[in-house]
């Protein structure tokens, strides 16, 4: 950094630019005396130097005022210096005379006024307006100068016999005061902000001011006249000093800017290198593509991926390096449309022909002006991922297939089980779907057969029609180790088991030589006429028919059996006489028949059990349906009943008096009918509701229920002599609302049927019977004949004529339904004209300490 100029430098400049010309001018004055032409040349020189200095300084100040918005005064100073410089130049160049003199004074006036205007608060002009202002000032200065030069006659003579005229003196004093005012402004400014520049301008203004004030009192070409010229020159020098400082600063600024620029360039280069190295460090192929689709830049990974060097890649068409160039171009167009694309799948073809599956992420990039320059694209190698995905997909497919196969197997097996169940349980089920294993207790039969074999060592087996062994004992080595062990000879066995056994009637047997030349005997097992399996004995030789060893040797050779071992096994097979066989088979036939019958019975049993369950469920459903029906019918019957009752009543009340007696009687019968029907319907509804209702069980004291009911029956007892005999009744767990209905019905009945008795006796009590508590209601009423006892609890069943005892025939049905719902039982005993006794039990009767003292309600009568 440059340091600000030292004070000594300022002094030097002042001396050089100011004092020296001033001293020189004085020296010249004394040296050349009155030689006027020398004076004139010297004066021209000084004035030109001054005006050039002024213009130069004005230009610098102008430049500064463009940057420095804080110092609006600079514009005034610059304008003043421009005007002064221009008019001074004219003064320097003009020939001595009136115009010459007035130009001098004009310069002072213009400069002074413009300097003095510095006091005016000047707004920060816009630069364009500043330019206009400066040009105007310059133009006016030139125009004024030329006007004075060309038309000196219009001006008065500047000097008279006593020196300068008053006008000249006034103009100079006026200008001088302007300069002094400016000096004051700058001093003030300096005092507030001690900046050297303000001091420079203050001293300059002071010099100008003093020079101007005194200039009018000097004599042209005289020494004092020169002194004041020197003063002005000194003022210019001072300004030049300020300008100098400004130039220095400007220079420093430029140097600093240069350094900064350099540093920034270095940074930029470093950043660019960093960016480049990042690009190169990327393992993903990166590429930039121009708008025309040509590659403009690539990284190393791109070179690796394509196998083509950078210089050949750059400038070539990007789509050339993909297996599907059209798709690549499509993707490229897409980037321009969408500004970016993600995970666009493509395949890069390496120069060697190898293909790399990639996903492209690409987006457009822009230049500084924001225009799209091209596309930046990054590829991601997904070859491995693809392989892994393929692998996963393959595994999934296999898994799915396995699951599918297994599901199909399960489904098939489930279907089989279902078919079997259907076959067993449905009466029309086809027994052909059944296998013997489904209905036979195979392990039990196997155990039995084994026991038998210990007793009588004759081989036996139950084989179904597909050739599966269900039961087998005493299987011979010849069979298990040889014939059934070899696939080919085993096929012979199964074919023999299945085909040579057909067409044997139940209860018969057939003996035959199997395809492996062994004797077998078979009898069929039939279930419900279906042939399901065969019972075998076999792998023996008849004692009177020894085996044909030659043919067995040939067989050993054919199936690759070890001949020696094979023949040894052959010898181990039992030899039976024909009688033995006959007896054995007789046993086995009976055994097979027994099996058949047992199996069939178990099927029939299972079927009948299912049927019973089904019928029970149907029955339950019908009962429910019936109850629902009863309820809805009763419910719907009430409305018309109400209407009949209503209108007949209205008829009676409003028109009764005008109706004949017969009609009135009929109306009365209608009303009575509807009333009875209403009661009937309500009773039916109630019965239906009992069936539909869920019980809400509570421990309830029966005595309190009985008392409630008796209280409600009070109107029925009006004018009657009734004796209630109430015993201590238990607390029971029941639905108290329903239990009250039971007691209501029973007590109301007792009250009703004792009506003919002068003294009605109604007893409510309990008794133990086989550990169960019975509750009973006994009366001394009209009773009934026990031959109708079974009808007693049926709906609408009545044992009395309605004229004798009213009633609907629903009450006892309701009682029974409620007791049944409680898991109890109800019945009655009676004797005609002696009275009746109704019993009921409740599922859970318990005696309780809590039972209240019975309030004997006998006094109610």
Partner 1 sequence: MTRGQIEILLVEDNQDDVELTLHALRKENLANSIHVARDGEEALEFLFCGGQFSERSFDHPPRLVLLDLKLPKVDGMEVLKRLKADARTRTIPVVILTSSREERDLVSSYNLGVNSYIQKPVDFDQFRETVKTVGLYWLLINQAPVSEPAAHSAQGAAGAR
Q: Which residues bind partner 1 (CB under 8 A)?
A: 635, 638-639, 641-643, 645-650, 674-675, 677-678, 681-682, 685, 689, 693
Considering the complex, what minimum distance in angstroms separates the CB of residue 648 from partner 1?
8
Q: Which is nearer to partner 1, 598 or 677 (CB)?
A: 677
Q: In what order do the strands lie in the sheet with 835-841?
A: 722-726, 760-769, 772-779, 835-841, 826-831
Strands 286-290 and 372-381, sheet pairing:
antiparallel
The H-or-E segment that residue 460 falls in is strand 460-464
Q: Which is nearer to partner 1, 270 or 635 (CB)?
A: 635
Considering the complex, what minimum distance in angstroms separates the CB of residue 798 from partner 1?
21
Q: Which is nearer to partner 1, 617 or 626 (CB)?
A: 626
d(CA 379, CA 360): 4
Considering the complex, what minimum distance in angstroms separates the CB of residue 645 from partner 1?
5
d(CA 109, CA 91): 13
Helix (H, G, I), strand (E, B) or coil at 250: helix
Considering the complex, what minimum distance in angstroms separates the CB of residue 659 from partner 1?
18
Chain-centroid distance of CA 27 in Å reads: 103
Q: Which is nearer to partner 1, 642 or 847 (CB)?
A: 642
Cβ–Cβ contacts within 10 Å for residue 521, how many? Answer: 22
Q: Which is nearer to partner 1, 481 or 676 (CB)?
A: 676
Q: Which is nearer to partner 1, 419 or 638 (CB)?
A: 638
Q: Which is nearer to partner 1, 2 or 669 (CB)?
A: 669
Considering the complex, what minimum distance in angstroms separates the CB of residue 678 from partner 1?
3
The H-or-E segment that residue 789 falls in is none
Considering the complex, what minimum distance in angstroms separates the CB of residue 688 from partner 1?
11
Q: Which is nearer to partner 1, 308 or 659 (CB)?
A: 659
Considering the complex, what minimum distance in angstroms separates the CB of residue 810 from partner 1?
15
Considering the complex, what minimum distance in angstroms separates the CB of residue 730 from partner 1?
29
d(CA 749, CA 678): 19
Q: Which is nearer to partner 1, 605 or 628 (CB)?
A: 628
Contact present, 719 and 681 (Cβ < 8 Å)? no
Q: Which is nearer to partner 1, 329 or 689 (CB)?
A: 689
Nearest to 339 by CA among 376, 306, 301: 376
Identify the bridge partners of residue 348 per DSSP, sorted by sequence position: 322, 356
d(CA 739, CA 800): 25
d(CA 74, CA 54): 13
Core vs surface per residue 771-799: b (16+ CB within 10 A) or e: eebbbbbbbbbbbbeeeeeeebbebeebb
Q: Which is nearer to partner 1, 126 or 639 (CB)?
A: 639
The set of residues, in sequence order, having a beta carbon less than 8 Å from that of 451 and lying 6+ positions away, is none
Considering the complex, what minimum distance in angstroms separates the CB of residue 363 from partner 1?
58
The set of residues, in sequence order, having a beta carbon less than 8 Å from that of 754 and lying 6+ positions away, is 722, 760, 761, 762, 779, 780, 781, 782, 835
Q: Which is nearer to partner 1, 610 or 645 (CB)?
A: 645
Backbone angles phi, psi at 508, to 5 degrees: -125, 165
The set of residues, in sequence order, having a beta carbon less than 8 Å from that of 676 and lying 6+ positions away, is 806, 808
Q: Which is nearer to partner 1, 351 or 650 (CB)?
A: 650
Extract the runs of DSSP E, i.e. beta strands, from 24-166. 159-160, 163-164
d(CA 764, CA 296): 115
Considering the complex, what minimum distance in angstroms separates the CB of residue 631 from partner 1?
9
Considering the complex, what minimum distance in angstroms separates the CB of residue 342 from partner 1?
53
The tokens of 379 are what?
């590829």
d(CA 415, CA 422): 10
The tokens of 577 are what?
């006489």
d(CA 150, CA 611): 147
The tokens of 126 are what?
């816009």
Considering the complex, what minimum distance in angstroms separates the CB of residue 752 from partner 1?
20
DSSP letters, 310-347, are HHHHTTSBGGGGBS-HHHHHHHHHHHHHHSEEEEEEEE
Q: Which is nearer to partner 1, 289 or 685 (CB)?
A: 685
Considering the complex, what minimum distance in angstroms separates the CB of residue 639 from partner 1?
5
Considering the complex, what minimum distance in angstroms separates the CB of residue 685 from partner 1?
7
Backbone angles phi, psi at 491, to 5 degrees: -60, -40
d(CA 822, CA 838): 17
């Amino acid at each position: 950094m440059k340091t600000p100029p030292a004070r000594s430098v300022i002094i030097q400049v002042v001396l050089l630019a100011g004092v020296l010309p001033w001293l020189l001018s004085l020296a010249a004055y004394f040296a050349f005396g009155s030689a006027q032409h020398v004076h004139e040349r010297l004066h021209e020189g000084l004035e030109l130097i001054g005006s050039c200095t002024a213009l130069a300084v004005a230009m610098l100040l102008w430049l500064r005022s463009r940057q420095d918005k804080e110092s609006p005064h600079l514009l005034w100073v610059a304008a003043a210096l421009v005007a002064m410089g221009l008019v001074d130049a004219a003064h320097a160049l003009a020939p001595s005379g009136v115009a010459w003199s007035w130009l001098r004074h004009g310069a002072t006036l213009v400069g002074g006024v413009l300097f003095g205007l510095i006091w005016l608060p000047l707004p920060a002009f816009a630069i364009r307006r500043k330019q206009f202002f400066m040009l105007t000032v310059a133009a006016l200065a030139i125009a004024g100068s030329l006007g004075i030069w060309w038309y000196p006659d219009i001006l008065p003579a500047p000097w008279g016999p006593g020196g300068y005229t008053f006008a000249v003196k006034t103009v100079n004093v006026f200008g001088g005061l302007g300069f002094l005012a400016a000096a004051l402004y700058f001093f003030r400014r300096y005092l507030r902000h001690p900046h050297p520049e303000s001091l420079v301008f203050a001293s300059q203004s002071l010099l100008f001011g003093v020079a101007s004030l005194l200039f009018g009192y000097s004599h042209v070409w005289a020494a004092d006249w020169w002194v004041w010229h020197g003063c002005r020159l000194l003022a210019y020098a001072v300004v030049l000093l300020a300008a100098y400082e400004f130039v220095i600063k400007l220079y420093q600024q430029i140097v600093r800017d240069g350094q900064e620029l350099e540093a920034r360039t270095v940074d930029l280069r470093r950043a660019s290198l960093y960016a480049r190295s990042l690009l190169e460090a990327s393992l993903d192929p990166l590429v930039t593509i121009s708008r025309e689709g040509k590659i403009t830049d690539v990284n190393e990974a791109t070179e690796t991926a394509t196998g083509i060097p950078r210089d050949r890649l750059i400038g070539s068409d990007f789509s050339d390096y993909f297996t599907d160039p059209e798709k690549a171009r499509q993707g490229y167009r897409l980037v321009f449309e969408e500004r970016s694309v993600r995970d666009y799948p493509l395949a890069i073809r390496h120069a060697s022909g190898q293909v790399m599956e990639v996903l492209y992420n690409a987006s457009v990039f822009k230049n500084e002006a924001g225009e799209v320059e091209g596309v930046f694209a990054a590829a991601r190698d997904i070859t491995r991922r693809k392989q892994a995905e393929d692998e996963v997909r393959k595994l999934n497919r296999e898994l799915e297939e396995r699951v599918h196969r297994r599901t199909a197997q399960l489904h098939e097996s489930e279907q089989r089980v279902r078919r079997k169940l259907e076959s067993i349980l449905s009466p029309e089920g086809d027994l052909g779907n059944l296998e013997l294993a489904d209905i036979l207790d195979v392990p039990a039969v196997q155990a039995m057969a084994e026991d038998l074999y210990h007793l009588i060592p004759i081989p036996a087996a139950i084989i179904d029609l597909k050739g599966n062994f269900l039961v087998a004992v005493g299987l011979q080595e010849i069979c298990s180790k040889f014939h059934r062990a070899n696939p080919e000879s085993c096929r012979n066995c199964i074919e023999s088991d299945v085909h040579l056994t057909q067409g044997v009637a139940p209860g018969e047997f057939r003996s035959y030589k199997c395809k492996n030349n062994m004797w077998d005997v078979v009898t069929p097992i039939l279930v419900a006429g279906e042939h399901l399996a065969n019972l075998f004995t076999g792998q023996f030789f008849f004692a009177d028919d020894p085996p044909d060893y030659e043919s067995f040797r040939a067989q050993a050779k054919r199936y690759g059996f070890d001949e020696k071992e094979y023949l040894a096994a052959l010898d181990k097979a039992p030899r039976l006489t024909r009688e033995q066989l006959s007896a054995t088979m007789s046993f086995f036939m009976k055994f097979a028949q027994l099996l058949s019958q047992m199996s069939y019975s178990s099927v029939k049993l299972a079927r009948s059990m299912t049927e019973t369950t089904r019928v029970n469920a149907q029955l339950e459903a019908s009962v429910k349906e019936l109850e629902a029906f009863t309820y809805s019918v009763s419910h719907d019957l009430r409305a018309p009943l109400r209407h009949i009752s209503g209108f007949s009543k209205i008829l009676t009340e409003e028109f009764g008096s005008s109706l004949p007696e017969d009609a009135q009687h009929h109306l009365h019968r209608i009303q009575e009918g509807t009333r009875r029907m209403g009661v009937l319907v309500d009773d039916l509804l109630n019965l239906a509701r009992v069936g539909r209702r869920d019980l809400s069980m509570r421990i309830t004291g029966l005595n309190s229920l009985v008392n409630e009911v008796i209280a409600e029956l009070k109107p029925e007892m009006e004018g009657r002599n009734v004796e209630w005999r109430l015993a201590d009744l238990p607390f029971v767990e029941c639905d108290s609302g329903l239990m009250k209905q039971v007691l209501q019905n029973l007590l109301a009945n007792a009250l009703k049927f004792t009506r003919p008795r002068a003294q009605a006796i109604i007893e409510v009590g309990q008794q133990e019977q086989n550990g169960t508590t019975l509750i009973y209601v006994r009366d001394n009423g009209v009773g009934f004949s026990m031959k109708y006892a079974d009808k007693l609890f049926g709906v609408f069943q009545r044992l009395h004529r309605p004229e004798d005892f009213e009633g609907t025939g629903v009450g006892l049905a309701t009682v029974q339904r409620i007791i049944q719902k409680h898991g109890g039982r109800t019945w009655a005993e009676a004797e005609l004209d002696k009275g009746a006794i109704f019993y009921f039990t409740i599922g859970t009767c318990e005696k309780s300490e809590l039972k209240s003292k019975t309030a004997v309600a006998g006094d109610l009568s």
